Amino acid sequence: MQLHEKIPNNDELAEDRKLLRALEQWQPSFLEWWRQMGPESFQAADVYLRTAVSVDSSGWAHFDYVKMPEYRWGIFLATPEADRTIGFGDQIGRPVWAEVPGEYRNLLRRLIVTQADTEPASVEQQRRLGQTAPSLYDLRNLFQVNVEEGRHLWARVYLLHRYFGRDGREEAEALLARRSGDPDRPRILGAFNAPIDDWLSFYMFAMFTDRDGKYQLLALAESGLDPLARTTRFMLTEEAHHMFVGETGIRRIVQRSCELTRQAPDGDARRLGGIDLPTLQKYINFWYSVSLDLFGGEISSNAAEYFACGLKGRAGEKKYDDHLALQGSYRMTVPEGGRLGEQDVPLRNAMNEVLRDAYIEDNQRGLDMWNKTIAEHGIDLRLCLPSRRFNRRIGLYAGLHFTPQGEPIPQEEFDGGRHEWLPSETDRAYVRSLMRPVREPGVMANWIAAPTKGIDGKPLTYDYVRLA
């Protein structure tokens, strides 16, 4: 590990002077982007952050106070697997590629750029959240997520500079030129152009949208391009914390909502300044459906091509018996003339849906934990995931209307039920009204319960962020 270089890395950057110079020229642009679009009003704060110092499974991170513009962003690749071969598609069994195959250059560049664009986008979406953090513990977790999204951007920019020449350098510059929500220079994916201006939305984003990121990364970790797979595998180590922040954040809101529901004379947590469970369900419906769209269409020739070429596999490809996916099919519910029918889709064309299935199952585990908390309080309500057909903008169900249970309905019926199923402006305004900063160590905002433990063995009363 070359930790004390200008760009920390474990890829012997010092031996590739051309690449090192290119990345060092990009670095000032990145830092300027961070100062402009990173966490607003906290650039001078000392934050108790973890910084990667290794790619080993144990002892890989160091914790200390850091000013975010001085964070040691770097490039870390997982340890290479000896004699690794491509594990799926038409190239199965062949040695993985150390360089980009010319015939797949454009496909790989598109894959890398699309995924890379989400990293700075999420930082931009969340840049003002620090001003309303419900505790110093949560403020620190937000900043940890932000700096690691920045490091994930570095991982992708390294690939663009290292393997794609002038095109890659131009794409790396464009990643810093686009802006979340900018009408002229928006981010590539729609979900990354909406501001996240309250902490309930942030936790939902970390739970559902970052979990989409997990499954996209798991699929890319199988890639036949070995440098892409190796950068991705280490990114997954950091990504796990982002989902932990979302899942436990919502569970803490559920806990506090249940407490306030039982205290309120009429059982309405809002009466006592909490976020009621029906509002939580609306936010789940919105963020889950938006995140489902990020997987792409249910039937996809692009997904089939990525799989066939050995560029993007399935999450945990080794667990499948058939790595060619030429003979199998996927039974899919499809709209047909205003009704729902069943269709057998060639398996390669259904790879997005296979990935989406794993994502849905993973999310259900989180909801089971939240519902366990609700049951422990004796409240007769359970949170649920809506149907994958509900509120979709991409794929087979785009432009059609379904109840949260997945039943097809006319548009006027959907419009009539919208405020019952999705956050209304009144709901959003109420949630925003609760967003008041809490800066005393160990103290939480009224609408969220305390976590069960602190960070890095520190107590909840620890000064996780020292404000300038």
Who's near 23: CB < 8 A, 6+ residues apart? 7, 13, 75, 157, 158, 161
**Would you place residue 56 in the very low, low, confident or very high pLDDT band (cuts 50, 70, 90)?**
confident
**pTM passes above 0.95:** yes
pLDDT beyond 80 at 59: no
Across 205-234, average pLDDT: 97
Comparing 120-129, 157-166, 208-217, 334-343, the range with the smallest average pLDDT is 334-343
Question: What is the Cα Rg of the chain in Å?
Answer: 23
To 10 degrees, the CA torsion angle through 55, 57, 58, 64?
Answer: 50
Query: How confident is the model over 389-416, as a mean pLDDT?
Result: 97
Compute the mean pLDDT over every residue in the chain, rounded to the nearest whole number.
96
Judged by DSSP in three states, 167 sits in helix
DSSP string, 351-367: HHHHHHHHHHHHHHHHH
Label residue 199 by pLDDT band (50, 70, 90): very high
CA separation (Å) from 201 to 176, 183, 255, 433? 24, 22, 17, 14
Tell me the C-alpha to C-alpha distance, in Å, between residue 342 and each of 85, 159, 345, 391, 392: 36, 41, 10, 20, 19
Farthest CA pair distance, the chain: 70
Bridge-partner residues for 291, per DSSP?
none
User: Please, which residues have CB within 8 angstroms of residue 22's CB and are 6 or more apart in sequence?
Assistant: 161, 169
165: left (phi over 0), alpha (psi -120 to 50) or beta: left
Is the Cα torsion angle 423, 425, 426, 429 positive or negative in sign? positive
CB 339 within 8 A of CB 354: no
374 CB neighbour count, 10 Å cutoff: 20
Distances in Å between the alpha carbon of 253 and those of 197, 365, 378? 17, 17, 16
Q: Which residue has the tokens 């010319």?
A: 102
**CA–CA gap between residue 120 and residue 182 (Å, rounded):** 13
Residue 309 reports pLDDT greater than 80: yes
**Which residue shows structure tokens 């009224």?**
446
Those residues with Cβ within 8 angstroms of residue 83's Cβ, 6 or more apart along the chain or in another chain: 95
Interatomic CA distance for residues 241 and 456, integer angstroms: 13
**Backbone dihedral angles phi then psi of residue 46, each to the nearest 5 degrees:** -90, 120
List the structure tokens of 303: 């997904």
> How is residue 73 written in tokens?
């962003």
pLDDT, tens digit, 9 for 90 and up, residues 1-37: 788 899 999 999 999 999 999 999 999 999 999 999 9
Average pLDDT over residues 108-136: 97
Distance of CA 144 to the CA centre of its chain: 14
- Percentage of the chain lying above the pLDDT 90 cut: 96
Closest CA to 23 of 36, 6, 37: 6
pLDDT, position 4: 87
Mean pLDDT, range 129-145, rounded to an integer = 98
pLDDT at residue 337, rounded to an integer: 83
CA distance 310 to 223: 6
